[in-house]
A and B are shown apart, each in its own frame.
Chain A
Amino acid sequence: MTIENKKGWISWFNPFKYGTDRWMFALHRLTGIALGLYLIAHVWETSNILNGQVTWDKIMVDLDYPFGAHYGPFILSLILIVAVYHALNGIRLTIVENGLMLPKPYRPEFPYKAKSLRGLNNLLKIVLGIFMILISAIGVIFIFTGVIV
């Protein structure tokens, strides 16, 4: 009797050995899930304004000092980086998944490195990567100092 051998959704997070695009896929899933959870938490957080100013102020302080220390800005920075990654990679995927910035069909040559995962697709990754670093840096500086660079 044959048995099932499905890798299952858990294998989304096993990008090892499959190249950059596979890593970015795993990160995209992970950041997507994280943002989804953040959105729910965010709606809960802001809904507390209905409970009056005292509750609201207390929640603001609690969120700024989770686990008894001033971790708030670090967590906020992390959320920002996650969102920026998800947005920029989403832009890249919208472009390449519609067949743009990809090579024309070509002749495969040993050692058969796939051109769709390289070339202009790689250029996009680099350009958007630089954008990600810039936007995140500006955002993180703002979160910590309140200064917009």
Chain B
Amino acid sequence: METLVLKGFGEVVKTVTFRVRRYDPEKKEIPKYEEYKVPVQKGMTILDGILYIKEHLDHSLSARYSCRMGICGSCGMIINGKEKLACQTQILELGKDLIKVDPMGNYGIVKDLVPELSKLFNNHQSVKPFIVREEEEPKSEFLQTPDQREKYAMFTDCILCGLCLSACPTSASDELYLGPQALAQSFRYIVDNRDLGFEERLNVVDSKHGVWRCHFSGACSEVCPKGVDPALAIQLLRKVMTTNIFVKYQQKGATRGPERKSALGVS
């Protein structure tokens, strides 16, 4: 069989074997590995490899992806034993001739490499990932200095890929654990000077399956493709929690800027 080459990539460098964990929900069989030979061209990512398989070798292979550039957080999977975004992992950079691709762990599997992420999103929602204020519709912006922004800015980079929950050893054994992603986000909002929702988040975060379940193995920060460092957020959140016992954590809520009128005179 002649090798098909993809346009837009460099010349074919070598052929690698993809060992992909397959699960077909209609067959009710336990997942098993299947192997595919993929000719690798310079610049091809794991996602390109999977799409090559889907187009030329096995149409039934399923994976989830969207942006192909590390923005949407859809393509998380376990590549050679480590959680990675498939679209950001160069095949040649791995330097292996056998590439094992597994769906992310600690979630359900919908099909093949597609994980069931509702746990991630539910946990994310449960910590109220938004600025909590009483006002229905603020008429002007809340004031914030660049320094105040630096306190949480790095945690806003989270793309909800869910790799951290897959790598976390606590999530592996505790089904109800909130997980690094949700805890990092709760910290992001708690230290935001515009927020007033500390008390509301407290009963979710300061619980049996909340912040105290973390044992700082650092796996989440190690695999996070955006450098969010959720482990740091969790430990800093714990600092807030322990200090809160002695000195109540105060959220003042940022002051308002001047009321603005739009060009049409309607605010």
| Cβ contact within 8 Å between A5 and B107 | yes
Q: Is B154 interfacial (CB-CB < 8 Å)?
A: yes
Q: Is A37 interfacial (CB-CB < 8 Å)?
A: no
Shortest CB-to-CB span from B116 to chain A, Å, is 5
* Given A25-B169, A108-B228: A97 and B235 interface contact (C-beta under 8 Å): yes
Q: Which residues of A contact B153 (CB under 8 A)?
A: 105, 107
Q: By DSSP majority rule, is chain A's interface helix, strand, loop, or mixed?
A: loop
A96 touches which of B106, B107, B235 (Cβ 8 Å): B235
- How far, in whole Å, are A12 and B175 apart by their CA atoms in the complex? 15
B157 touches which of A3, A19, A108, A113 (Cβ 8 Å): A108
| Cβ contact within 8 Å between B106 and A17 | no
Q: Chain A residue with minimal CB distance to B116?
A: A2
- Can you give 9 A-B contacts (C-beta < 8 A)? A3-B108, A7-B166, A96-B235, A99-B236, A102-B232, A106-B154, A113-B227, A114-B232, A117-B222
In this complex, the interface size class of chain A, counting residues with CB under 8 Å from chain B, is 35 or more
Shortest CB-to-CB span from A101 to chain B, Å, is 10
Q: Is B216 interfacial (CB-CB < 8 Å)?
A: yes
Q: Is B44 interfacial (CB-CB < 8 Å)?
A: no
| Cβ contact within 8 Å between A2 and B81 | no
| Cβ contact within 8 Å between A5 and B172 | no
- How far, in whole Å, are A2 and B157 apart by their CA atoms in the complex? 30
- How far, in whole Å, are A18 and B166 apart by their CA atoms in the complex? 12
